[in-house]
Amino acid sequence: MKLAEDKRKTASHRLAIVEGHLRKVRRMLDDGVYCIDIIHQSRAIQQALKKFDEQVLERHLKTCAARKIREGNIDEASRELLEVFERL
């Protein structure tokens, strides 16, 4: 399970970076920084969260969804994934 723990640490680190960027955007807003600069930082946060989601989804497909399919729960695995894609 070393690989799983490494992936978890990587994901946690990515979220810590996002938290730092979000704090920076709040400071920028409070300090009256130029709106376009704030938007650029906000977009960076959104891209980082998108990458985080992609990594979590990839891990889910390789572990949880694959396990459900092996166990014969294909409908459940499909339904979960369809719900995720509907929200994108």
The secondary structure of the chain, three-state, reads CHHHHHHHHHHHHHHHHHHHHHHHHHHHHHCCCCHHHHHHHHHHHHHHHHHHHHHHHHHHHHHHHHHHHHCCCHHHHHHHHHHHHHCC
Asked if 82 and 57 count as a contact pair (C-beta separation under 8 A), the reply is: no
**Could you give the CA distance from residue 2 to residue 4 in angstroms, rounded to a whole number?**
5
Instruction: Name the band, by pLDDT with cuts 50, 70 and 90, for residue 7.
Output: confident
- Domain architecture of the chain: domains with CATH: 2-86 (1.20.58.1000)
Residue 41 pLDDT > 80: yes
Confidence of residue 8 (pLDDT cuts 50, 70, 90): confident
